[in-house]
């Protein structure tokens, strides 16, 4: 990286403000309430998640939970995700 960066005084073009889409630190610290369920999965599914979890040094149940949460997050809701988190916080706290 010995080449020096050469800056020019060119027009930037159209500039637009990007909305803040990142959760606040408080939202990141919030741990969603868990609900225990009994669920029968196929042997091949469990073996797949156990193998992947082992490769990535995590828990297979956590991977399954995150997969389900990611699916739910893509579905249309009557409440936005942020409003739903706020509603859950009020119910818990």
pLDDT tens-digit readout, 2-53:
788 888 888 888 988 988 877 777 777 767 788 999 999 999 999 999 999 9
pLDDT digits (tens, 9 = 90+) for 52-83: 999 999 999 999 998 998 888 888 876 556 66
The whole-angstrom separation of Cα 86 and Cα 79 is 10
> What phi and psi, each to the nearest 5 degrees, are found at residue 86?
-60, -45
pTM: 0.53
Token code pair at residue 73: 């997050």
Q: What is the pLDDT of residue 81?
A: 60
Is the pLDDT at 1 greater than 70? The verdict is no
């Amino acid at each position: 990286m010995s080449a020096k960066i050469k800056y020019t005084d060119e027009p930037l073009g159209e500039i637009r403000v990007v909305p803040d889409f990142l959760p606040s630190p408080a939202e990141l610290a919030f741990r969603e309430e868990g609900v225990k369920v009994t669920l029968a999965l196929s042997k091949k599914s469990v073996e797949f998640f156990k193998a992947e979890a082992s490769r990535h040094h995590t828990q297979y149940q956590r991977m399954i939970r995150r997969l389900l949460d990611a699916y739910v997050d893509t579905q249309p809701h009557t409440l936005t995700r942020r409003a739903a988190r706020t509603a859950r916080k009020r119910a818990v706290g």
